Amino acid sequence: HMMQALHCLSPPGDPKLFVSLLLSLQPEENILEDGIESFFVEQDGAQILINMFQFTRPMETATNFLQMAPEEMLILLNDSNGPSVLNAFLSSKYIEQACKAGLVPALKLADALVVLSSTAEDGEIEVRISGYLATLACSQFGSTSLQFIWENGTLADCLAMVEELSLSEKILNRDECGSAISVNFGLFHYGRSVQEWRNWYKETHSPAFDIELY
């Protein structure tokens, strides 16, 4: 049993840590002892998780995935294995839509805030407190992960992401990956008005994606 091998079988372990332990292929006591500093993504662990999402009964694993600590999710989605794991989660026909619908709220409400800075046109350092999604948008694999969510999300999901990303639009536009997300997510239109963004979304988004895919 994999939970037993990772020492998170309850009791005395914590089954909620299963996905985090699986991704890093280390026992529970390592994370409990060293905290977030001990978390990393092993390619073999990521591949096992991808395969588990394709099993006929992956709901417990999918729930554990959404229960990952915000800092761990950030590390995963910024990792080269992150987009593949996320794509497997979103595309699995065995994971219920209600569970997939929890992904955007989990990311949007994450409290893992960071400080992003850039140099303004007048040479002064411009600093903005930016959230989880903006951090992902400004990285190679994180932006790919956001694109997967965008392409599989509902209008409400996409609007929720745009609302947060718009707070850091200037920062995103000065970053190569961030500027691509800014364009792809229509932040310019959202900045003019929500209604203009909604019209742009309906004109550019595939009708298939307006169905409750997750």
Q: What is the pLDDT of residues 163-212, one digit of tens each?
A: 999 999 999 999 999 999 999 999 999 999 999 999 999 998 865 444 33
Question: pLDDT tens-digit profile of 52-84?
Answer: 998 878 888 999 999 888 888 889 999 999 999
Q: Looking at the predicted structure, is the pLDDT value of residue 109 above 90?
A: no
Q: Is the pTM of this model over 0.85?
A: no
Q: Are 116 and 171 contacting, i.e. CB atoms less than 8 angstroms apart? A: yes
CA distances from 39 to 104, 142, 188, 213 (A): 22, 17, 37, 31
Between 10 and 106, whose confidence is greater? 106
User: Would you tell me how many other CB atoms lie within 10 Å of the CB of residue 115?
Assistant: 9
pLDDT the model gives residue 18: 82
3-state secondary structure of 80: coil
- Residue 206 confidence (pLDDT): 63
